[in-house]
Structure 1
Amino acid sequence: MLGSANQNVMIKAARAAGRSLVKDFREVENLQVSAKGANDFVAKAEISAEEIIREALMEARPTYGYVSGDGKEVDGADPTRRWIVSALDGLTNFLHGLPHWAVSIALEHKGEVISCVVFDPAKGELFWAEKGAGSWMNDTRIRASGRTKLNEGLFATGLPNGGKADLPDTLKDLARILPACAGVRRWGAASLDMAFVAAGRFDGYWERRRKTWEIAAGILLVKEAGGFVEPITPGNSILGEGEVICANEAMFDRFAAVIRNA
């Protein structure tokens, strides 16, 4: 299926950044045995990918706003539209030579994500969606899983490290959901966690304190695949507070009740 002009711009940008990151990733794998490590190299790889995406998107749509992981938000002449970009989601995986990371690009219109791309270069999987046009992986339509029993559900989340403020809440979440389901995975890339919910690989996902650019694309992917997406705390803003819970339609209410301790 062919997407809109904006969708094609996003896909082209994501693929270009992906090619750059794949080249750098091969070098990162070699650096794992060095004493110095790969931190500086990876930082440069992310900056390079960010520049590729920014140049491609702003050249194609110079009036749109732009926000990304580098923290620099650009207000566009068109205040209703902005690009939301994570040039390297799953940076810690990339740094350690783990082939699970992605390029994530979303287009927001009047506060709603209307088009998105999540590209996994290591696996050659490009997830994309447009409002009203469904979710896709490469050229194949994808849908949220059809599982209905919580005890058969496989869920994904993030595990806060160090002294992160949301660690106690996440540990309480795990204590409630682990006895009730088939398993929980922590894969380290929020955009791919949500893409996998859209593809039916995970039955649901939840996490707190995610950055806007890490989850924006995933919101639309899940919705267009027939899944449900809400903030963990009812009434909050998903992108504003950075908390999200999503699952297939049949399982969402029970999954959300467990996570919310409702």
Structure 2
Amino acid sequence: MSQSLHPMLNIAVKAARTAGAIINRASLDLDILKVNTKSPNDFVTEVDQNAEAAIIETLLTAYPGHGILAEESGREHGSKHSDFVWIIDPLDGTTNFIHGFPVYCVSIALSFRGKVEQAVVYDPTRNDLFMASRGRGAYLNDKRLRVSKRTRLSDSLIGTGFPFRKGDNFQRYMKMFETVMPECAGLRRPGAAALDLCYVAAGYLDGFFETGLSPWDIAAGSLIITEAGGLVGNFTGESDFMNQREIVAGSPKIYGQLVQLLSPFTRVINDDEPAAAPTPAPTADAAPAARKPIRLRKKPVEEAPAAPTGDDAPF
């Protein structure tokens, strides 16, 4: 794939590597790192800000008419009305980075009219570059990625993220943890959601779920998963997960089993249904109907369709 990168993906790779170099330099001297607290347990460093500035400069130099949605600066850069929007997390896993725990990454996605078309996630500690263009597959460096072939949740390694911000519903998460943990082979919490999603695409994890995530945490990883043959959705298996602050991902069979377990915990309520507290997950003896208490509105994200061709293709 490195020989035929889409021009916009090529620019995203350049931006991610530039940010990765900034992060790697800073990691050599964490003692002098300036850390600010956005809220309890939610940190931002000068490295986040410097990496984000370098990414935005690289992207807007190449595409000055594009929009920007970035974790630290929001929408204050770029065009406010472009169909093209770059969705950026300059350093996902800041808390890990501050402690020298080597699990963090740069995440850059390009959406066109609300649909992610290009994606890059760069792990600077391992020099691992995950990338995808819609309809052209997902890659780790030059290796094509495929989600795992496991079909039973009981054999599967599942990734997750713990709630950590003030106001997060920790009790709700503990009920989810109690529901999923006995059903799988193991549960892992590395601490950088964008990288966790790439690990699902690579087959290192068979599935992943988390609440409280923002678009910049999941935009790139979600395309990389679907291009690797996986599925991504919210807790009830619907495709409009990007702004709903809950996500499930996995190989198709594992994804379906996770949705069955997690659907009672959704925070996404249909307009015509009264809001209700999450109900505990059913036991193995429960009737199948009890496992799906919420009506689906949309199909989950399928494997990405072929990219448009001809003069009308935006990419």
For Structure 1 versus Structure 2, the TM-score category normalised by the shorter chain is over 0.9
Q: What code does the residue aligned with 1:39 have?
A: V
TM-score, with structure 2 as normaliser? 0.77
**Which residue is 2:114 aligned to?**
111
The alpha-carbon deviation at position 77 of structure 1 amounts to 6.6
d(CA) in 2 for partners of 1:75, 1:19:
23
Identity %, equivalent residues: 35
1:79: which partner in 2?
82
Cα shift at 1:76: 1.9
Question: For residues 18-33 of structure 1, what are the structure 2 equivalents within 5 Å?
Answer: 18-28=20-30, 31=31
For residues 247 and 102 of structure 1, do their structure 2 counterparts lie closer, same or farther at Cα, with a shift above 3 Å needed? same
Residue correspondence of structure 1 range 1-262 to structure 2 within 5 A: 1=1, 2-28=4-30, 31=31, 39=35, 43-73=45-75, 74=77, 76=79, 79-161=82-164, 163-234=166-237, 237-260=240-263, 261=281, 262=291
Structure 2 spans left out of the alignment, 5+ residues: 37-42, 264-280, 282-290, 292-315
Offset, 1:69: 0.8
TM-score normalised by length of structure 1: 0.92
| Alpha-carbon distance in structure 2 between the residues aligned to 1:162 and 1:10 | 30
Report how far residue 86 of structure 1 moved. Answer: 0.3
The alignment of Structure 1 onto Structure 2 pairs a total of residues equal to: 256
Task: Tell me, yes or no, if the aligned pair for 1:156 and 1:205 is still in contact at 8 Å.
Answer: yes
The 1:75/1:51 distance shift into structure 2, 3 A limit, reads closer
Structure (1 or 2) with the greater helix fraction? 1
| Residues 14-69 of structure 1: per-residue CA shift (max 9 Å, x gap) | 001101110001111xx2xxxx8752597111111111100000110111100111
Q: What's the offset of the Cα at 1:72?
A: 2.4
Cα deviation code 1:129-170 (max 9, x no counterpart)? 010011000010011000111111100111112643332221
> What is residue 310 of structure 2 aligned with on the other side?
none
1:63·1:77 contact (CA, 8 Å) conserved in 2? no
1: distance between equivalents of 2:117 and 2:165?
A: 35
Q: Which has the larger radius of gyration?
A: 2
Distance 1:57 1:104 in 2: 13
In the aligned structure 2, how far is the partner of 1:215 from the partner of 1:194?
8
Q: Helix, strand or coil for the counterpart of 1:57?
A: helix
Deviation, 1:243, is 1.4
